[in-house]
Amino acid sequence: MLETCYSIRMRAAERSPELGEKHVSGGERIGSKSQIEPIVTQLLNKASNHTRGDADFIQITVEKISNDQIRYMLPLEITTVETTSIRKAHGEARRILASVGVSEHALDVAFQLLSGNQNLRGAIILNSKTGIRLDERGLKGVRVSRIDWQDVSVNLNERVREALALASKVANSPFTIAELCWSDDPDYVTGYVSNHDLGYVRISPLKKEGCESGGRIFFVSDEVELETYINYLEIVPVLIRRD
């Protein structure tokens, strides 16, 4: 019999007069009962040592999940594109996203949103043709949740491991056309574009060092069933397996 699994989630914020509740950090893990304590400790350390600020609010949620609800999927294949400027990196990202059907207008909207927001706490869902935002969540956005690797010893650094797991879950929805992401961490300038066919394409540099703007855009098809899509992203547990 499989061990009962638990979703362990962390959200950390700093309350500031200028931005209200400023997002600092988040984390997602799935583990057995015996793993809860070490995972919580790991997530607390992540929340307490972050370049976006000193968290004065840390929320840890532990929730039992049914093993028969868990979906298993393979990770996207990783490729890397290094450029010599932000302009060239943006151009490469736009070229790749356009090749899978994202319109020029939707790309304009997406790059403006990510370049201008310093406090996005979740992803933005855009129609891939019209560029219209569909989720109506404001700065809260849509948080992709209940996700982890089946084998956490996978040979990737923590940042890439977490982002690849998330991108793989997003890409496996039939409603996802593509994803664009770069981190809001001021010391990390690499981002990515992804979809099921492209894989996970790391591109650098997508922003200036020291900049705290960033986030995720999910470009979706006209056929998207929004409630079903958001439920999958936020609620359905997923474990990424290597083979």
Q: Please state the pTM of the whole predicted model.
A: 0.92
Tell me the CA distances in angstroms from 143 to 20, 77, 82, 100, one per residue in order. Answer: 19, 23, 28, 24
Rounded distance, CA 208 to CA 194, Å?
21
Region for residue 54 given its phi and psi (left: phi exceeds 0; alpha: psi -120 to 50; beta: otherwise): beta
Min mean pLDDT across 50-54, 70-74, 143-147 is at: 50-54
What pLDDT sits at residue 1? 41
Q: Quick count: other Cβ atoms within 10 Å of Cβ 112?
A: 11
What pLDDT sits at residue 153? 77
Top pLDDT among 84 and 49 is at 84
Q: What does the pLDDT average to over 1-6?
A: 77
Peptide bond between residue 205 and the one before it cis (omega within 30 degrees of 0): yes
Min mean pLDDT across 33-42, 51-60, 233-242 is at: 51-60
**Confidence band, pLDDT 50/70/90 cuts, at residue 50:** low
Tracing tokens 């809260």 back to the chain, one arrives at 140
How crowded is the C-beta side of 76, counted as CA atoms within 13 Å?
A: 30
Residue 92: phi, psi to the nearest 5?
A: -65, -40
Q: Quick count: other Cβ atoms within 10 Å of Cβ 63?
A: 12
What pLDDT sits at residue 202? 98
Region for residue 146 given its phi and psi (left: phi exceeds 0; alpha: psi -120 to 50; beta: otherwise): left
Average pLDDT, the chain: 92
**Confidence band, pLDDT 50/70/90 cuts, at residue 3:** confident
State pLDDT tens for residues 101-129.
999 999 999 999 999 877 788 999 999 99
**Confidence band, pLDDT 50/70/90 cuts, at residue 23:** confident
CB 15 within 8 A of CB 22: yes
Rounded distance, CA 25 to CA 51, Å?
9
State pLDDT tens for residues 53-89.
677 889 999 999 988 899 999 999 999 999 999 999 9
Min mean pLDDT across 44-58, 107-121, 153-167 is at: 44-58
Q: Quick count: other Cβ atoms within 10 Å of Cβ 131?
A: 19
CB 107 within 8 A of CB 98: yes
In the predicted structure, residue 240 carries a pLDDT above the cut 60: yes
In the predicted structure, residue 217 carries a pLDDT above the cut 80: yes
CB 202 within 8 A of CB 192: yes
